[in-house]
Amino acid sequence: MISIVLIDDHPLAINGIGAWLCGTGRFSIAGTAGTLAEAQSLLERLESLPEIVILDVSLGTEDGLEFVPVLKEICAKRTVVMPSILVCSMYEDPFLIQRAMDSGAAAYVSKSAEAGEIIAAIDVILAGNTYVNPKYELQSKKHASSILTRRENEIVSLVKQSLSNRQIAKRLGISARTVENHLAHIYIKTDAGSREELFEL
């Protein structure tokens, strides 16, 4: 049985995906979490780490991708192989997908995809490869994310989730003024003139 941990702030998503995966007879759910703190506590508690972590990009007011470096640190301390990360999110924006892959995810599947695509993605990453549906055409979007800093990429991702500067500041633990400064640099680097144009990246 392939062991999986589900990290998502929507109970229906966790229960639905978890029940469906278990129903295939191929997978077992080692645990679930709805926040970054719960996820860290769970992974530190588990006697053996799962083979796959299914992670949502947005965990309420938290950025789910911030869990990736935390997971890397947990694995380094335990000197174990890091589980493969499959990001499963409602967002289908190529910029967000590229950021997830750049952060260390092995696969990205939309929550609107057919259930079989999750299985296909899991099989691909278990074979040591990465999976993103070709329809997202990431190559054309790669340049924008590569010229921005990690923090700038985070801010663009949150803008694309329709968060205000104040909401972005709260999520990242910084001031609204700092968000404005980052946005000024982002506009210069990307030649975008407004928040609306950032959605085109």
Check whether residue 42 and residue 121 sit in a common domain.
Answer: yes
What per-residue confidence (pLDDT) applies to 116? Answer: 87
What per-residue confidence (pLDDT) applies to 72? Answer: 93
Q: How far is CA 137 from CA 5, 35, 92, in A?
A: 28, 30, 11
Check whether residue 46 and residue 85 sit in a common domain.
Answer: yes
Check whether residue 32 and residue 124 sit in a common domain.
Answer: yes
Check whether residue 160 and residue 64 sit in a common domain.
Answer: no
Q: Please check whether residue 143 lies inside any domain of the structure.
A: no
Q: What is the CATH number of the domain that holds 191?
A: 1.10.10.10
What per-residue confidence (pLDDT) applies to 54? Answer: 97
- Residue that terminates a domain, selected from 113, 136, 159: 136
Identity at 164, one-letter amino acid code: S
Check whether residue 79 and residue 162 sit in a common domain.
Answer: no
Q: How many H-runs (helices) and E-runs (strands) does the chain carry?
A: 10, 8
The answer to whether residues 132 and 108 touch, using CB atoms and an 8 Å cutoff, is: yes
Q: Which residues of the chain have pLDDT under 70?
A: 137-146
Q: Please check whether residue 8 lies inside any domain of the structure.
A: yes
What per-residue confidence (pLDDT) applies to 93? Answer: 81
Number of domain units in the chain: 2
| Contacts of residue 83, Cβ cutoff 8 Å, sequence gap at least 6 | 5, 49, 50, 51, 52, 53, 71, 75
Check whether residue 95 and residue 129 sit in a common domain.
Answer: yes
Q: Please check whether residue 18 lies inside any domain of the structure.
A: yes
Q: What is the pTM of this model?
A: 0.72
What single DSSP character describes residue 144?
H
Identity at 27, one-letter amino acid code: F
- Residue that terminates a domain, selected from 83, 111, 136: 136
pLDDT in tens, 186-200: 988 888 888 888 887
Q: How far is CA 75 from CA 6, 32, 81, 147, 185, in A?
A: 17, 18, 6, 29, 35
Neighbours of 141 (CB within 10 A): 19
Check whether residue 111 and residue 183 sit in a common domain.
Answer: no
Q: Please check whether residue 53 lies inside any domain of the structure.
A: yes
For residue 119, the enclosing domain spans 2-136
The Cα–Cα gap between 166 and 177 comes to: 9
